[in-house]
Amino acid sequence: MTTRCMVVLEGLSLSGRADQPLIDFLKERGVDLPHLCYHPSLGALETCDACWVEVGDELKRGCTLHNTMVDMQIPIQRYEFQRKPHEKDTSSPFYTYDPDQCILCGRCVEACQNVEVNETLSIDFASENPRVLWDGGEQINDSSCVHCGH
């Protein structure tokens, strides 16, 4: 027997399976919940602390998108922006890594390891200023990344 749940969204009561990700649950009911890291093949990471939802009286990690909050005119920048002490990596002709835009959610690392089955990416969480690393610290274009045209 499948457990059922009730979700109240802006006063509208929605019911469905309790074991379904909220993004999928709402999408089936015609509600687009913007998200940052969720992918149906990989699930939600729930590690970046960027997205929160209220469940009962408790805040839990969820998946909403900062730009949506801006569109809704909800203030999101509580702290003064401070640049990270790492340069952008523009060495690849296919993509750029900008540490100032990275929230260290780990989605790229998970996709690299579990979809591409390549151990190229990691995050150095032991560092005072963590960042995504290619082959432990190589420039993107000098790494073993399979999407870099090697």
Calculate the average pLDDT of the chain. Answer: 80
For the stretch 100-137, pLDDT in tens is 888 888 888 888 888 878 889 999 999 999 999 999 99
Which parts of 62-130 are beta strand (E)? 121-123
The H-assigned helical ranges of 1-146 are: 22-27, 66-71, 107-114
| pLDDT bucket at 149, cuts 50 / 70 / 90 | very low
Distance of CA 7 to the CA centre of its chain: 23
All structural domains of the chain with their residue ranges: 4-71, 82-150
CATH number of the domain located at residue range(s) 82-150 in this protein: 3.30.70.20
The 3-state DSSP class for residue 111 equals helix
Question: What is the pLDDT, as a whole number, of residue 34?
Answer: 72
CA distances from 58 to 53, 55, 62, 147 (A): 8, 5, 12, 41
